[in-house]
Structures are given as structure tokens and as C-alpha cells.
């Protein structure tokens, strides 16, 4: 199977939730890996960490409303 051609990501025109994922990936030092190889290159541990932090931030935002 051929590798899917990745289009460059415009970090300024993302939906808020997508933007948060990229911000967290950057904080964890994983942004370069994601941009070069895609989200599928992350381990389940790395993906879980990002997902957990996204959930925590969403909950915190809801409480502050």
C-alpha cells in the first residue's frame, strides 16, 4: 500500500480542539514527530498522554464558565 501524502498543517487555521492537541504535543516535545511522521507515528502511551491532557483542559475550561 502506498503512503498517504501528508499535506502541510496550517497551525493558525485549526479548530480549537485540534489546536489544543498540537499545543499539547509541542509541550510534550512531540510536535516535530507529529509534523514529520503524522499522528500515527506516536506510541499508545504518547497518544494517551495527549488525550488525557486534552480532557483535563476541557474539564477545567467548563468549570471556569
Share above pLDDT 90 across residues of the chain, in percent, rounded to a whole number: 72
Q: Where are the alpha helices (DSSP H) in the chain?
A: 16-27, 31-37, 44-64
CB contact at 8 A, 34 and 41? yes
pTM: 0.80
* Range with the poorest average pLDDT among 4-13, 16-25, 38-47: 4-13
User: Which of the four pLDDT bands, split at 50, 70 and 90, describes residue 12?
Assistant: confident
Predicted pLDDT at 9: 74
Tell me the mean pLDDT in the region 13-39: 94
Amino acid at each position: 500500500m502506498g503512503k498517504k501524502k501528508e499535506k502541510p498543517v496550517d497551525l493558525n487555521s485549526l479548530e480549537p480542539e485540534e489546536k489544543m492537541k498540537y499545543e499539547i504535543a509541542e509541550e510534550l516535545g512531540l510536535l516535530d514527530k507529529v509534523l514529520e511522521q503524522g499522528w500515527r507515528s506516536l506510541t499508545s502511551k504518547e497518544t494517551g498522554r495527549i488525550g488525557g491532557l486534552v480532557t483535563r483542559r476541557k474539564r477545567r475550561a467548563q468549570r471556569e464558565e
